[in-house]
Structure 1
Amino acid sequence: MTDDNAASALYEILNDVRSSKRQQIGEAWADVLDCKVGTSEFAQRHAEVVNLFRRVHSFVNAMPEGTQRDIYLRYAPAWHAGVVPRGNWDSPQNPPAKVISQSNLDQLGGVMQVLSITSADDFTDEAQDALVRGLKEWKDLLDEAGLPPGISEQVRSQVAHIEWLLANVSLFGSEPVVRESRNLIGLGVEVLQLVPVKARKVGAAMAYIVYMLGLVHAGIDHTAGILEGLNEVSAQIEVITDNPPELSAESNEEIVDAEFEEDPPGESDLDTSD
C-alpha cells in the first residue's frame, strides 16, 4: 500500500475535482466519488472527504508555535470551500476549475509534506483478509430471511460503505475503515438483541471484525471494550432464551486470544448454524 496521509488524500481528491473536464462541479464530484450527487451513497462518501479536511485541520491546529501553523490556518477556509463548494453545483457558471485555486492547493501540498501519518500501511493483509471474510459473513446472513427490514438495510448499507472504504484504503487510510467497522459491531449487537436466534451466525461475522480491530493499531485499545459489550449482550440473551447461544466471555476470549493467534476463524472453527 502507498504511504498516504489525510493531507495527501485531500490534495489528490481536490486536484482531481479541479482538473476535471466536466462542465459542472456536481459532475466532477460524481466522477471522483463514483456515485450520483443527491443520493444517500454520495452523502456518505462525501462525508468521508469532509472528515479528511477535519483531520488535516486538527493536525495543523496542533502544530507548535514557531512553525507554519498560522500560515496554514489562513488557507484552511479555502480548503473547506473546496470540499464544500459554494454556489450551484449544477451551473456551468461554476466549473470544477473554480473549486480551489492552484495556489491554495499548493499550500495544502505543503501540509502534505509535513504530515507523516502512514495509517494505510498499518492495515496489513491479514487485517484486510479478516475484514473481507467478516463482511462476507454479514452478506450471507443478510441474504437469509429473518432479520427485520429496518436493521437489515442499515447493516447492508454499512457493509457496502466499509467495502468502498476498503477499496480506497490507500487513499483514505485505515482510520475510517476502523471507525465504520466499530459501528458495524454496534449494529451487530442490536441484531443480537432483536433476533437472538441468529446469534451464532451474527457472532461469527462479528468475530472476524473484532479480530481485524485487534490487528489494526488504531483499534487495539478498543478491542477489550468491544468484547465487554458482547459479553453483556450474551448475558441478556441467556435470560430471555431457553437455549442461549455460545457467546460467553470465555468463548470471546478464546476467539481473540487463542484461535486467532494462528489463523482467523474458518468455517470449521465457528458453528454458524441457527
Structure 2
Amino acid sequence: MEIRIPGTSAHGLHDILVQVWQSGAQNFRSGWAKALGVEWGSSEFARRHAEVAGLLAETIQQLHALPEAQQDRYSRYFPQWWTAVVQPDLSWADAGRPARVLVTQETLDHLASAADLLQSVLGGTRSAPVGSNLDGLKESCASWLDLLAQTPDEELAPIVREEIAAQIRHLLWLIDNAELFGTARISREATSVIGSIAQASTGLTGQDLQTGGRWRRGFVAFVAASALLATGATQLQTAIEAGSGVVKEISQVVESVTQ
C-alpha cells in the first residue's frame, strides 16, 4: 500500500490527530505515543509533539492569509484544534478518558476542510509543495554539512557554522519523518535554512576564495533542490531554461556578496 505523505501542515496535523483518535488507547498519553511512534516521556516524544504544535502554528498562520470571510470561518475552530493538541484541562493519564475523546469528528472535518482549501490556494508554494522527491534536498543537506565542517574558523565564526549545521540536521530529521509531518514542514524549514546560509555568506571573511566558491555553488544547489520540492520539476526546469526565476536571481545575489 502506498504511503500518503501530507501535503500541507494542516493535513499533517489532521492525520496525526486522526491517528491518536483511532489508536484505541485507553488514555491520551498512550494514544499520542502510538500516533507518534515513540515512547511517552522520551526526548524524542517531546521533540515530535513539539513539531505537532508547530504544524498547528503554521496552519493558523496560513489561514490568516486567506480572505477575511474565510479567516473568520476557520478561526472559530482554532481553540478546538489547540485543545486537541495540548489538552490543558485534562490528565493525559486518566483511564476514564480514552484517546477516542481527544477530538470530535466535527473538529477533524473542519480541519480537513481547511487543509484542502490551503492546498488549493497555496499549491506549488513552500506551504503546499507539489513535488515529492526528497532525495535531492537530502543530498544537498549532506553536502552542506560536509561544507560547513570544512569551513575554517577564521573564515566563519564557529557558533554561526554550528547553528546552521543544527538547522540542517533538523531538516534532515524532518525528511526522515516526512510520512508523519509532511512535505510542507520540510519545504518551510528549507526556506529557513536558505535564509540562514544567505545571511552567513555575508559574514565570510573572503580570505579563502575556494571556500567562497564552494559556498556559492552549494547555495545555488540547495535553492534549486528546495524549489524543486515546492514547485515541481517542470516549473523549475522552465524557469532555469528561461534564464529567470528564483535560482538565477538568488545565485546572482550570492555571487555579489561572496566574491
Which interval holds the TM-score relative to the shorter structure?
0.5 to 0.7
Match of 2:130 among 112, 118, 122: 122
Q: What's the TM-score once normalised by structure 2's chain length?
A: 0.64
Taking a change above 3 Å as real, the CA distance of residues 47 and 3 of structure 1, as seen in their structure-2 partners, is: closer
Match of 2:242 in 1: none
The answer to whether residue 67 in structure 2 is matched with residue 62 in structure 1 is yes
2:155 matches 1:146 = no
Specify the alignment match of 1:135 in structure 2: 141
Residue 243 of structure 2 corresponds to residue 230 of structure 1 = no
Amino acid at match of 2:108: L
Higher relative contact order (CA 8 A, sep 6+): 2
Larger Rg: 1
Q: Match for residue 245 of structure 1?
A: none
Q: Structure 2 matches for 1:37-186, cutoff 5 A?
A: 41-42=47-48, 45-54=51-60, 57-58=63-64, 62=67, 72-87=74-89, 91-92=93-94, 96-112=99-115, 116-117=119-120, 122-125=130-133, 128-144=134-150, 146-147=152-153, 148-169=157-178, 172-186=181-195
TM-score, normalisation: structure 1: 0.62
Equivalent position SS for 1:122: coil
**Number of matched residues?**
229
2 CA distance for matches of 1:54 and 1:89?
Answer: 26
- For 2:174 and 2:94, how far apart are their aligned partners in 1? 31
Residue 212 of structure 1 pairs with residue 225 of structure 2: yes
Residues 130, 208 of structure 1: 8 Å contact kept: no
Gaps of 5+ in 2: 240-244
**C-alpha separation in 2, matches of 1:116 and 1:108:** 12
Kindly provide the CA deviation profile for residues 204-245 of structure 1, in whole angstroms up to 9, marking residues without a partner as x.
Answer: 3322112224433399865466335413422xxxxxxxxxxx
Kept in 2, the 8 Å contact 1:138–1:205? The answer is yes
Q: Classify the secondary structure of the residue corresponding to 2:103.
A: coil
Structure 1 unaligned regions, length at least 5: 235-247, 249-274
| TM superposition shift of 1:79 | 1.5
What value does the CA root-mean-square deviation take over the aligned residues? Answer: 4.0
Code of the aligned partner of 1:151: V
Q: 1:30 to 1:231 in 2, by over 3 A?
A: farther
How many Å separate the matches in 1 of 2:166 and 2:80?
32
Give the corresponding residue for 2:21.
18
